[in-house]
Structure 1
Amino acid sequence: MRHVRMTILAALLAGVAAPAFANDAASCATVRYSGPGWTDIAATNGIAAVLFEALGYTPDIATLSVPVGYEALKNGQTDMFLGNWLPAQQKFREDLDANGGIEELVQNLSGAKFTLAVNKPGADAGVMDFADLDAHKDAFDGKIYGIEPGAPANQSIQAMIDADEFGLGDWTLVESGEQAMLAQVGRNETAGTPSVFLAWAPHPMNEAIDITYLSGGDAYFGPDFGGATIHTLARSEWVETCPNAAKFLRQLVFDVPMENILMGKILNDGLAPTEAAVEWIAENPERLGPWLEGVTTLSGEPGLDAVMAAVAE
């Protein structure tokens, strides 16, 4: 199996022109970025970390809530961010744009979605739309399960409750982390109890739970069930100082099936994000060529060659 991977990687390497020597400053050796504790961002952060490390950089990943993470980027405490969900995080993006000094490197994912959903008992009760919820308040115990405090999606839910939209004025938002939310939904699923909760793709929850995404929430989550794109942001000064690292990030794009698999390795198989990334890269070496075209190691050696050697270990 290793021989097959090495043969594919060697072919990829042969097809990529020898890059110019890296001209990243010494200060670029450590790449600082953050994640809010969501598994999808942990997965993509893990891919970036493994590849940065193979290229001779040191990834420094902080776990910060969404608002704190944006402040860290704005204030220069981090260099880049792989998890700018739009439109859910539009107000944070507008704040960064108004402040200046931050630029978008690439849209790294399309086809994502993010809105309220119900489990099978909820769908069986006839809940298909936001407007259906209040008639079944008792079955749902009047609770909407959200993610960590401060998340924009939670703020949207609370705004609905405060405005008594869809008759939800006497409902309660239960804030917790992603894992705690899904654990509760799983317990309710086993007990046959309806749940309404934040759901999104990519995520292996879509395989583990019989999910029905609710229509009718366009005003709060956007059209197409909260259809979203995810973007990579970086400090303009960092991009100028670290063009090689920035080039790599401009080319680092993902897709929903890939992220579902990566997240499953983390959530279901118990792998750390970097372990999941190493395993996925070894299984999908053909993805390395486009990501690393024209990218070098920090010391100026061909980047794909360095990653090939790291994967083979």
Structure 2
Amino acid sequence: MKHLHRALLLASALSGLAPAVAHADPAACANVRVGQPPWGDIAVTNALTDTVLNAIGYNTQPQTLAVPVIYQGLKDGQVDLFQGNWMPAQSAFRAKYQGGYEVLTTNLTGAKFTLAVPDYVATAGVHSIADLGKFAVKFGSKIYGIEPGAPANKNISAIIGDSAYQLSGWQLVASSEAGMLSQVQRAEAAHQWIVFLAWEPHPMNVRFHITYLSGGDKYFGPDYGAATVYTLGRPGLAAQCPNLVRFISQVRFDVDTENALLAPVAEGKAEVEPEARSYLAGHPQLLAAWLKGVTTLDGQPALPAAEAALKSN
């Protein structure tokens, strides 16, 4: 499996982020507070990580928080881990909170993040963000985004305010991820025009027929907002909890896997935690790569403990 091979290579290349010999973490590392924005993709990646950590003796505590609150929580020591640092979209937060977090690893490459339209809108002539202004009436002069305060919404507001795009009078409609996608679903069912924030991995890429728009390089980055996702930790986490960070530094995801896991969850056909357990149980080589050199919280080999826990569920 090419993604597994890539994961193994990356794990080997980045193994220098953690000690070569694993030792049990102190009891103070047992409770792991995980920042989780209300995004479907992060719910899946956190479920995979949480499943393994809980199996090897840690107690994960997911906290559903907005991105700015997560960064402040990392700085203040109230959040331990954040697996959703999308770059370059969160560059401003990385700069603002410099020194208030540790970059632990790259957990995903090949992602993308920019504005999109249904395929039938693209067929009608909308291929770039620069095309939107010509069809203001059809779009209702609205761009649909996610929760208020999200970095992507700030980029959308900046696009609306940029005279080069000729979007004077347009409005950002901020909503939850679920609310935005409900609007997309209604629009697609009625064959109405809509432009919205889109990203991959996400089940929207399977659920809807969408076209990503070019022309957003200034705000979302080149290649349709090509993104890399990092895992951040609170300051001092690597020194205090080296075994935990060794595991986290070896965790890799890929776009195809996340899309596949997200689709049944989004369609209501599966719950995220059982789906994560099932996936891990069916991919023993991936689990072994993630747990190479890792112990349980009490110092025992982690892989046998994790395998036993997955079999018992």
- Note the residue ranges of structure 1 that are not aligned, 5 or more in a row: 1-18
Question: Which amino acid letter does the alignment assign opposite residue 280 of structure 1?
Answer: Y
Match of 1:219 in 2: 218
Contact 1:101 1:237 in 2 (8 A): no
Matched, 1:166 2:158: no
Task: Output the CA distance in 2 between the equivalents of 1:271 and 1:134.
Answer: 40
Contact 2:77 2:235 in 1 (8 A): no
Task: Output the CA distance in 1 between the equivalents of 2:280 and 2:254.
Answer: 14
Matched, 1:304 2:303: yes
Match of 1:246 in 2: 245
Matched, 1:234 2:233: yes
Match of 2:72 in 1: 71
Task: Output the CA distance in 1 between the equivalents of 2:37 and 2:159.
Answer: 23
Question: Counterpart of 1:34 in 2: which secondary structure?
Answer: strand
Question: Counterpart of 2:279 in 1: which secondary structure?
Answer: helix
- TM-score computed with the length of structure 1 as normaliser: 0.90
Match of 1:4 in 2: none
Contact 1:144 1:171 in 2 (8 A): yes
Identity rate, percent = 49
Task: Output the CA distance in 1 between the equivalents of 2:138 and 2:22.
Answer: 63
Task: Output the CA distance in 1 between the equivalents of 2:73 and 2:273.
Answer: 23
Task: Output the CA distance in 2 between the equivalents of 1:281 and 1:118.
Answer: 34
Q: Report the alpha carbon displacement of residue 143 of structure 1 after superposing the two structures with TM.
A: 1.1
1:204-215 map, 5 Å: 204-215=203-214
Q: RMSD over aligned Cα, in angstroms?
A: 1.4
1:141-220 map, 5 Å: 141-220=140-219
- Note the residue ranges of structure 2 that are not aligned, 5 or more in a row: 1-19
Contact 1:120 1:189 in 2 (8 A): no
Question: Counterpart of 1:232 in 2: which secondary structure?
Answer: strand
Task: Output the CA distance in 2 between the equivalents of 1:231 and 1:142.
Answer: 34
Question: Counterpart of 1:47 in 2: which secondary structure?
Answer: helix
Match of 2:4 in 1: none
- TM-score computed with the length of structure 2 as normaliser: 0.90
Contact 1:74 1:96 in 2 (8 A): yes
Matched, 1:62 2:59: no
1:256-295 map, 5 Å: 256-295=255-294
Contact 1:88 1:153 in 2 (8 A): yes
Q: Deviations over 1:2-51 (max 9, x none)?
A: xxxxxxxxxxxxxxxxx966331111010011111101111111111100
Question: Which amino acid letter does the alignment assign opposite residue 39 of structure 1?
Answer: G
Question: Counterpart of 2:137 in 1: which secondary structure?
Answer: coil
Task: Output the CA distance in 1 between the equivalents of 2:116 and 2:154.
Answer: 16
Report which stretch shifted further, 21-30 or 141-150: 21-30
Contact 1:33 1:60 in 2 (8 A): yes
